[in-house]
Amino acid sequence: MRKMKNSKKLIFLITGGAGFIGSAVIRHIIEHTEHTVINLDKLTYAGNLDSLANVEKSSRYKFVHGDICDEKSVENILKLHKPNIVMHLAAESHVDRSIDNPKTFIENNIIGTFVMLEQVRRYWSELDDKNKEHFRFHHISTDEVYGDLNFEDTKNSNKSLFTEHSPYKPSSPYSASKASSDHLVRSWNRTFSLPTIVSNCSNNYGPYQFPEKLIPLMIFNALDKKPLPVYGNGNQIRDWLYVEDHARALFLVATKGKIGETYNIGGHNEEKNIDIVKMICSILDQLVPTSIKYDSLIKFVADRPGHDLRYAIDATKIQQDLDWTPLETLDSGLYKTVKWYLDNKRWSASVNNGDYKKRERLGSQT
């Protein structure tokens, strides 16, 4: 893909840029535009600078090791690098971990967002009128804030979908913390006129995802001939979004989205968890055949507390307003994902070490 020309070269400050989605956004910007990226990341367990190896030597990329909860650090970074756009992705994001340790999610997702908003507001208020007019604070969130779509709707021909106006009904400490941060962002726009935009996405998958999430966990466990743990009966439905499609959408929202608006980003791929696992097994049967069928490793385990049954995004608004649609189907995206993990053993080994070798279940508290 050729680089997109832009008359004004922008400076992006991206929080959580060493994470799964954040690193995809950074790779997209550096590889396909002429803009500059400052990556602010604390490098917690899921942050991995190896995910940025392809862009780390670019003169338009800089990594800053820091914590979004550290007010002075955020203030200094803003003053030094003078970003035009802040994309706030830094967050704790694993539901199971939020059940085991809610406090971390409150601190990072709520307090961290508050710190970012306040420091960005002060920075923005001191900009000249021209730079102030073109500044954006883009907050990246999740469809999980909307809660559980009614299962009865899945039996109807006209299924209900999450729209930008769906009420918030979070079910887990994770989704509640993200809902709280969404509300903070919107209130800073309404009260202080800070130019904010919010986007809510469906389940992401693709290269460089930490193997606590369903798809990479199934791939790694299958390759190691370990059980493939599926919660409950596996009938939970998710809308699956390839991460590189999401990165393209986020760039469009940040640069062309309307201030004060919300954009839902979905993959148009609703599928049951059990069927996703079976699809992965089928791809592995094709690419890495063994004496057993990989789906024989599937093991149903007790469901996690408060597990939502169905999420599904209506992405009509971003399609109509910003001309975005996903390029990957679920078949093509899953195949690319499995193939990537097979072809990138060094990256996989870098996250498959230490305590995580056990790949033990989290979030089983009741």
Residue type for 27, please? R
DSSP letter at 4 equals: B
Helix or strand (DSSP H, E) at 220: helix 214-223
CB-count exposure of residue 228 (10 Å: 0-12, 13-18, 19+): buried
Q: Give me 183's structure tokens.
A: 């509300």
| Whether 344 contacts 207, CB under 8 Å | yes
Question: Which residues are catalytic, by number?
Answer: 143-144, 174
- Sign of the CA dihedral with 92 first, then 95, 100, and 102 last: positive
Residue type for 33, please? T
Task: Report how far apart, in Å, the C-alpha atoms of 43 and of each of 49, 50, 131, 243 are.
Answer: 8, 11, 31, 20
CB atoms within 10 A of CB 167: 8
Helix or strand (DSSP H, E) at 251: helix 243-256
CA gap 264, 278 in Å, rounded:
28
Q: Give me 300's structure tokens.
A: 């149903």
